[in-house]
Amino acid sequence: LIMPGESLEALRSLPQGVRALVLTAVDDPLLACEVARAGAHGFLPKASSPEQLAEATFRVAGGETVFPSLPDLTDRELEILEHLSSGSPNYEIASALKLSVKTIENHVERLKDKLGKDSAAALRAWAARR
């Protein structure tokens, strides 16, 4: 998936009725969310076994969806992650989004829980790498 060009845009432009299973080297639950929103029906790491790939292919072809346990992120949380990825401190995010710093801190705490990060610094580093 993460290749030069507009990978997610290619998913969005698939004809109606085409079922897509994304195979990627990036085993990232947030990427899986983005892929699902772009119209894919499945997401599988390249490190998956041949048996897992075969099963996922048959399931997607049969009308099912195959995704890892996806974090349920709100549009606001995705927006805050975008700001975190650029290194913005909480007070700048709050100002940009016209929210209080406390509200941003609350969102950061929920994001840490949802994405399994043990600190705000780990969350920021993860967001920056994405």
> What is the structure's pLDDT at 2?
64
HEC profile of 70-102: CCCCCHHHHHHHHHHHCCCCHHHHHHHHCCCHH
9's tokens: 């845009």
User: What's the whole-number mean pLDDT along residues 104-123?
Assistant: 90
pLDDT in tens, 36-69: 888 899 999 888 999 999 999 999 999 999 987 7
Q: Which helix (H) or strand (E) holds 21?
A: strand 21-24
Neighbours of 32 (CB within 10 A): 23
> What is the structure's pLDDT at 11?
87
